[in-house]
Chain A
Amino acid sequence: MTGYESLRKLSQESSLNNLAENKTTVLDKPTNAFLASLYPFMKKQIDNKRHLSVMTILFLFFAWWFVTFIGWANPLFLPSPSAVTQSFVDVAVDGYQGSTLLEHVGTSLYRILTAFFFACLVGIPLGILMGISHSFHQVFNPIIEFYRPLPPLGLYTLLVMWLGIGESSKLALLFLSGLPGIIIATIQAVSDINPNYVRAARSVGAKRWDLIREVYLPGAGPTILTGMRISLGFIYTVLVAAEIVAATAGIGWMIWDAAKFLLSDVVIMGLIVLGVTGMLLDLTLKLFGKIVMPWTAVRKM
């Protein structure tokens, strides 16, 4: 056999055949450490229903284009895709009200990610303690249950009075809207852990703090991740509200400001940018989950 042939044979045996089959293919975990770290993503490629999502997106775009093309929609309210693309280019190059698109997006992402980071930093440990200890749960639950249903704008007025109209009240609002989702998911995740896991760990010598590291945190991990994704969604929904007051940049502010001047192409462009960054962040979280929790990507034998 020539070198080329054996190489081809090897690559076919190792992955291509498996990929070509269908979703239920089980790949043997690669022994190479680098390949192993990619292992969770390799299975992604086997998803053969991906094209349906692509078709949905194409269809929506087509419908939008069609409706504006034949003049069913008033361009003042629903501009054509090309107008929106044009405003994307304009704002990206010349900026909107003194900031370029990248600056608007950057400002908003900074707010979102800072708030999200602190929501995780506080929410996950608090949720774990509340899930483990009944007294802890009783102490903190009333606070969370009370403020959770409050409308963000109502909360915001108070935060502005306390913290002023600057950056801190915005971050506080985003933080507070992200927090309950994480805490509640974490509590649920911890109390759903099979008590046998805890017993097994204690039976080989795990003490209280060992249990958090060895059992509660990893055991609750997948549900915590879901909570984080939901919480990031909440933060997004509150972004525009947070940027209405005394902001000069931010994608939410840009949308709000453009709406005042009936610049619907900028509004729609802003919404699309917001949606796309949200989807990308969500994807990043999912990938992150697969990397730090490799066992969730393993199929049963």
Chain B
Amino acid sequence: MRSEYKVSEPKGSINITDLGMVFKSRDVTNVALQTTNLSISPGEFVCILGPSGCGKSTLLNVIAGFLKASEGQALLDGELIQEPGPERSMVFQHHSLLPWKTVGENIEMGPRLTGDLEVEQTVSYFLDMVGLSAYRDHYPEQLSGGMQQRVGIARALATNPRVLLMDEPFGALDYQTRLVMQENLLSLWDEFKSTVVFITHDVDEAIFLSDRILVMSSAPGCIIRDIKNPLKRPRDQLISSDPIFIKLKRECLELIRAQSMTKLNIKADHQRPEIKP
């Protein structure tokens, strides 16, 4: 077991300057991301909220190193991000566990490839952490969707990342499982305390999880609002009746509504319903 796991000191600052992304094919140019500036402090839990196609995944993939930005740059702890690396591991929406590896082998891959000296302990530790020790020798196909995502999270954490990148990790789960997974994630995060960048469509999810919410405009996307989330931790799902939660939710919904209105060329100020806290 690496000693770092026991220390929960914050790590992993992200600095993004003048980042822009344009996809060019033969005769179409598609602006996926307008010039974006962003900085995320070590240990921060940031949720990115925005309509479909606005460039959330693009932004995350640049941070992960899967995509090269057309302009600008992304830094991790001051170093230029150029390729994927285990210090920025990713949890995907679905179908990313290797079907030819058992649960244990999926988790084991990262520690083994990154030269962890005690692979065995690391794997057991993270299996235990996500409550799947009994499923170590099962293949991913034999698990439910929620269990698969827990394996995905364990696999990403097992490399001891400075930043955990999550692209709608619970998007394919049913509502109940989703709520449980959110609470799970927060209690895990209490232990590992790395920076998290979490993408979601779901306003409640963003508020429940985050320290900070970045709302993006519709395509081509840019960050239009940076909202601090002052809700106290530890949180459980009951917090959704907290006045602060409701105020945040209202703010986010209004922004999103305004976005979809401009997209449809409707003035957002007309007939706004009163939302009572």
Contacts and interface: CB of A to CB of B under 8 A. Distances in A.
Nearest to B115: A205
B113 A301 contact: no
Given A200-B90, A201-B109, A218-B100, 7 more contacts: A196-B92, A199-B64, A199-B84, A199-B90, A202-B84, A204-B158, A210-B113
Interface in A128-183: none
A204 B114 contact: yes
Interface stretch (B19-27, B139-147, B235-243): B139-147
Contact of B155 (A197, A204, A221, A295): A204
Contacts of A49: none
B177 interface: no
B88 interface: yes
Contacts of A200: 90, 92, 96-98, 155
Interface in B13-40: none
A55 to B, nearest CB: 34
B177 to A, nearest CB: 15
13 contacts: A29-B137, A199-B84, A200-B97, A203-B66, A204-B113, A204-B114, A204-B156, A205-B110, A205-B159, A219-B98, A293-B100, A298-B139, A298-B142
Nearest to B137: A29
B243 to A, nearest CB: 39
Interface residues of B, number: 33
B80 to A, nearest CB: 17
A205 B114 contact: yes
B85 interface: yes
B142 to A, nearest CB: 5
B136 to A, nearest CB: 11
Contacts of B12: none
Contacts of B228: none
A194 B95 CA distance: 8
B95 A206 contact: no
Given A197-B96, A204-B110, A204-B114, A301 B86 contact: no
B2 interface: no
A215 interface: yes
Contact of A204 (B99, B144, B159): B159
A260 interface: no
A199 B109 CA distance: 13
A203 B109 contact: no
Interface of B: 64, 66, 83-86, 88-90, 92, 95-101, 109-110, 113-114, 137-139, 141-144, 155-156, 158-159, 165
Interface of A: 29, 194, 196-197, 199-207, 210, 214-215, 218-219, 221, 293, 295, 298-301
Given A203-B84, A204-B156, A214 B137 contact: no
B142 A300 contact: yes
Nearest to B107: A204
Contacts of B86: 203-205
B221 to A, nearest CB: 21
A197 B98 contact: yes
Contacts of B137: 29
B265 to A, nearest CB: 36
B89 A29 contact: no
B100 A203 contact: no
Contacts of B64: 199, 203
Contacts of A197: 96, 98
Contacts of B143: 301
Contacts of B114: 204-205
A204 B138 contact: no
A210 B141 CA distance: 23
A196 B95 contact: yes
Contact of B66 (A194, A199, A295, A300): A199
Given A295-B139, A301-B141, A301-B144, A206 B66 contact: no
Contacts of A204: 86, 89, 109-110, 113-114, 155-156, 158-159
Contacts of A205: 85-86, 110, 113-114, 159
Nearest to A214: B109
A215 B109 CA distance: 11
Contacts of A194: 95
B197 to A, nearest CB: 13
A300 B159 CA distance: 28
B90 A295 contact: no
Contacts of B92: 196, 199-200
Nearest to A202: B84
A197 B92 CA distance: 10
A298 B143 CA distance: 12
Nearest to A293: B100
B273 to A, nearest CB: 40
Pick the most buried of A194, A201, A204, A298: most chain B CB atoms within 10 A of its CB: A204
A298 B138 CA distance: 9
B93 to A, nearest CB: 9
A197 B106 CA distance: 11
A193 to B, nearest CB: 10
Contact of B141 (A221, A293, A300): A300
Given A204-B89, A204-B159, A205-B110, A199 B96 contact: yes
A215 B98 contact: yes
B96 A196 contact: yes
A203 B138 contact: no
